[in-house]
Amino acid sequence: MKTSYIIALVVLALSVGIIISLSSSASQYVGFEEACNMAKNGRTAEVHVVGKLKKDKEGRILELNYNPVQNPNLCTFTLVDNKNKPYTVVYRNPKPQDLERSEQVVIIGKVQGETFEASKILLKCPSKYEDKEVKI
């Protein structure tokens, strides 16, 4: 009888430990300023930053560098977060296919010095099914 209680307590303690470790490593949505502060304070968890590619007044994308001949696994660009803070993003994988057309970009990674090292990029592209006026 005592052995079964001890085993149950050990299983319970392990379960609680696993749940705590998983929740502490869960990524969160932040801006670049908070991501920089987290890096300065030694927090190494990956974060999500939402933003848009930096564009000029005419809507042309600025500061997007990708040369697949020179290095197919290096793409750098400037992302402006939701608080209008621009930051250089380094993505060490091939450039996502529709990066230039995306309405919104979510980068997952962490600040490394003066750049944000993205491990993943998620894109929100314009909808094919936009509302169109129908004239009768």
What tens digit of pLDDT does each residue of 75-86 get? 999 999 999 999
Centroid of chain to Cα 46 = 8
Query: Phi and psi dihedrals of 16, rounded to 5?
Result: -65, -40
pLDDT digits (tens, 9 = 90+) for 113-127: 889 999 999 998 776
Answer whether residue 135 is part of any domain: no
- Which pLDDT score, from 0 to 100, does residue 12 have? 66
DSSP-assigned letter for residue 96: P
Q: Write out pLDDT tens, residues 98-109.
A: 898 888 999 999
Place of tokens 């490394």: 112
Place of tokens 């079964």: 4
Q: Structural domain tally of the chain?
A: 1
pLDDT tens digits, 6-49: 776 667 666 665 555 544 445 678 989 898 888 888 887 899 99
Going by C-alpha positions, the residue among 91, 32, 28, 88 that lies closest to residue 63 is 88
Domain for residue 88, yes or no? Answer: yes
Task: Determine if the pTM surpasses 0.75.
Answer: no
CA distance 100 to 105: 10
- Give the model confidence (pLDDT) of 50-75 as tens digits: 999 998 888 888 889 999 999 999 99
Give me the domain span that covers residue 73. Answer: 28-124
Half-sphere exposure of 39 (CA within 13 A, CB side): 18
Return the CATH number at 94: 2.40.50.140
77 HSE (CA, 13 A, CB side): 27
Residue 44 CA to residue 103 CA, distance in Å, equals: 28
Residue 134 within a domain: no
Do the domain assignments include residue 103? yes
Pairing of strands 86-91, 28-29: unpaired
Structural domain includes residue 6: no
For residue 130, pLDDT beyond 60: no
